[in-house]
Structure 1
Amino acid sequence: MPDPSVTYAPRNADNYCYRHPDRQSFVLCQRCGRTICPQCQTPGAVGVLCPECMREQRANAPRVKPQVVTRMNSLARSGGPIATYVLMGLLALGFLVGLVPGAPSRLAYIGPYATIEPWRIITGLFVYNGLTSILQLAFNGYMLYFFGGMIERQIGSIRYAALYLVGGLGAEAAVTLVQPGSSVLLGGTAAVFGLFGAFYMIQRHLGNQAVQILVIVALNVVIGLVVGTPWTAYVGAVLIGGLVGWIFMRLQNRSQRPQQIGATVAVAVVLLAIILLRSAQLAGLL
Structure 2
Amino acid sequence: MTEESAQTTATPVCYRHPDRSTYVTCVRCDRPICPDCMQPASVGFQCPECIREGRKTTIPARTVFGGSLSGEQGTVTRSLIVINVVAWVLTVAAAVLTSEISIRELGRFVIFGGVTGVTEWGAAIPAYGGGFIQVQGGIAAGEFWRLLTADFLHYGLIHLAFNMYALWILGRECERLLGRARFLALYLFAGVGGSVAVYLFSPLNQASAGASASIFGLLGAMFFFLRRLRADPRGLVFLIILNFSLGFVVANISIWGHIGGFVVGAAVGALMAYLPAGPNRARLQWIALGGVAVALVVLIALRTASLGVLF
TM-score by length of 2: 0.61
Deviating 4+ runs (over 4 angstroms)? none
1:87 aligned to 2:80? yes
Equivalence for 1:122: 148
Equivalence for 2:262: 238
Structure 2 unaligned spans of 5+ = 1-68, 96-116, 128-137
Q: Distance in 2 between matches of 1:215 and 1:139?
A: 18
Could you tell me which amino acid in structure 1 is paired with residue 239 of structure 2?
A: I
Q: Among all aligned residue pairs of Structure 1 and Structure 2, give the percentage whose two residues are the same amino acid.
A: 29
Equivalent residue for 2:191, pick from 168, 175, 178? 168
**How many angstroms does 1:256 deviate by?**
1.9
Equivalence for 1:221: 244
Equivalent residue for 2:91, pick from 95, 98, 104? 98
Equivalent residue for 1:275, pick from 277, 300, 309? 300
2:151 is paired with a residue whose SS is coil
Q: Distance in 2 between matches of 1:273 and 1:153?
A: 32
Q: Distance in 2 between matches of 1:283 and 1:272?
A: 17
1:95 and 1:128 in contact (8 A); partners too:
yes
**How many angstroms does 1:85 deviate by?**
0.8
RMSD between superposed Cα atoms in Å: 2.2
Equivalence for 2:229: 206
Equivalence for 2:102: none
Q: Distance in 2 between matches of 1:265 and 1:111?
A: 24
**How many angstroms does 1:229 deviate by?**
2.7
1:91 and 1:187 in contact (8 A); partners too:
no
Structure 1 unaligned spans of 5+ = 1-75
**How many angstroms does 1:200 deviate by?**
1.1
Q: Do the aligned partners of residues 274 and 282 (structure 1) sit closer, same or farther apart at CA in structure 2, a change above 3 Å counting?
A: same
| Aligned positions, number | 208
Greater Cα radius of gyration, structure 1 or 2: 1
Could you tell me which amino acid in structure 1 is paired with residue 245 of structure 2?
A: V
1:184 is paired with a residue whose SS is coil
Matches within 5 A, 1:1-286: 79-99=72-92, 100-101=94-95, 102-112=117-127, 113-115=138-140, 116-129=142-155, 133-181=156-204, 183-226=206-249, 227=251, 229-251=253-275, 252-279=277-304, 281-282=306-307, 284-285=309-310
**How many angstroms does 1:118 deviate by?**
1.6
Could you tell me which amino acid in structure 2 is paired with residue 248 of structure 1?
A: M
